[in-house]
Every structure is written in C-alpha cells, then in structure tokens.
Amino acid sequence: MWITGVVVGWVLTSLLCFAVVVYALGPMIQNSDQRAALTDIRGQIDRALGETQSLLGATTPKKPAEFGTPVAVVEFPTLALHQVVLEGVAPGQTASGPGHVPGTSGLGQPGNSAVVGRFSGYGGPFARLAELRPGNEIVVATTQGKSVYRVTETAERPLDESKDYGKTGDDRLTLVTSTSWWPLASETATVVTAVLDGKPFSPTPQNGKADAQDGRTGDTSAWPTLVLALGGFAAVAVGATWLYRRWRPVSNYVLTAPAMLTLATLAAMALWRLLPAWA
C-alpha cells in the first residue's frame, strides 16, 4: 500500500512542478527573454537609423532573419501591451515571445505578415487578443521604421493556413493564438486581421514555409530531453524513498531536493515543447 502512496505522491509532485514551471517560472523566463530581445532590436534599429543618415545609406539584408532572433516590436495601445516578435513559431521560440510565421511577409512589408503568440503558458502574451475590435490600432516598429495597422476583424474559428498564412491582395497583419487555456487545444484559434494604414516598406528576404512552424505543432526534438529528465527524476525519487526509510529526513531532503527540482524543471520544459506552440 505504501508503494502506491509513494507513486501517487511523486506523480502529483511532477504535475505540480510542471504547473510551477509553466505558469510561475515561465512568465519570468519570458519577461527575461523579452528584455534581452528588446535590447537587441533597439540596437538593430539604432544601427539602421545611423546607416540611413550616412553617405552610403542603409544596407539591404541579403538573407532572412535567423530563427529565435527579434524582428519587430508590436504595440497594442488598446490592451496596454507591447511585445518583441521573434522569428519562428516553434515552441522554443514562442516561449520567449510572439513569433513571426516563416513563409509570410515581413512585418510592415507588402502582403500578409502572420504572428503567433501563446494564450496561457509563459505569460500568455496573446491572452487578451480576442478583446481587439475593428478600428483598434496596432503599431509595429522594425529596423525599416514604424507601421500602423488597424483591426478589421476578430474571429474565433479553425485556423485556415491557406487563408491566414497565405498571400493576400492587401497589406495586412494576421495575429493568431489559441482560444483555450488547455495546453492540447488546437482545434480553434483566435484570429485578428489588421490592414496596414499607409504604404509598406520594401520587402526583405524571408524564411520559407515549414509544416512545423504553424503554431499548432510541438517540437518532437524535445523527446530525448524529456525521457532523460524523467528517467533521472524517477531514479532520484526511488533513491530518495529508499533513503527516507533508512536515514534522517532532513539530510535526505538536502541531498535529493536540488536534483529532483532540477530534473523536474527540465522535464516540464521539455514536455511543454511537445505541446502546441500557441498554448
């Protein structure tokens, strides 16, 4: 009977660690990553501004932005929110902030630029996306300058990749997130469409479309990390249980608690990477 109790206890502990990592530690990780990304893109903008004022003029990028690097700052005055947008929408990228969907236009440039953000995990930067209404302003800042979009539609429906991530006849910004706090929810999306107010900037090279970069898929490369972390956690849990029955509890906690917390954190972060990137 005691073995069943121990197993149940460790399972509950694992679930608690998962919740703590995603909903308590996750927002702190996201805030830290956002601060670093904001410093990075401010430096990019300052350098670009300096180039425009030089005799040679601004240089045109020759290759797409690397995945995980900041590409724009998006501000929502109505929501009192601003976020640094990173390139790519794999779970590892959206854990740090909203991601620009590869294969769509660059923000502020001609065509359809799509951005995916999380609804609940890692601070849930797009949790209030459904509150946007037609006419609301969205301001985008890139190294090319500032662009203003105005919301034309906010809808909750299944994601239509050909429509939401495809080419359009106008210059628009498409914002996408989940409609539910449930991590596995991927059936419906909150989709906000906004049209550019004014002329777009010149297009720059963009990354190609990838099936794993739509916001609804997880990162299968996290499986090895998850298996190793869970295996290590199980081994330490067995060892801690054995020591607890034969040694002083305080000494046992001092020896095993740091290792278990570390392994549980790694397992939780790896598990979250397997879930949809907009959760």
SS3 88: coil
Check residue 42 and give its pLDDT.
96
Question: Does residue 212 contact residue 219 with C-beta atoms inside 8 Å?
Answer: yes
pLDDT tier for residue 3 given thresholds of 50, 70 and 90: low
Quote the percentage of the chain above a pLDDT of 90: 54
**Rounded CA separation 244/1 (Å):** 17
Question: Does residue 206 contact residue 167 with C-beta atoms inside 8 Å?
Answer: no
- The DSSP letter of residue 201 is P
pLDDT tier for residue 266 given thresholds of 50, 70 and 90: confident
Structure-token match 């929408």, residue found? 89
Model pLDDT for residues 156-197, shown as the tens digit of each residue: 999 999 999 999 999 999 999 999 988 888 889 999 999 999
Quickly list H helices, the chain. Answer: 2-20, 26-52, 91-94, 161-164, 223-244, 249-273
Check residue 187 and give its pLDDT.
85
Check residue 85 and give its pLDDT.
98
Check residue 87 and give its pLDDT.
97
Model pLDDT for residues 47-94, shown as the tens digit of each residue: 988 887 766 666 778 899 999 999 999 999 999 999 999 999 999 899
Number of H helices, E strands in the chain: 6, 8
**What token pair was written down for 9?**
């206890």
pLDDT tier for residue 217 given thresholds of 50, 70 and 90: confident
Check residue 214 and give its pLDDT.
83
- Find the radius of gyration of the CA atoms of the chain: 22
Q: Could you give the domains of the chain?
A: 1-279 (2.40.260.10)
Q: Does residue 259 have a pLDDT over 90?
A: no
Model pLDDT for residues 122-159, shown as the tens digit of each residue: 999 999 999 999 999 999 999 999 999 999 999 999 99
Check residue 192 and give its pLDDT.
98
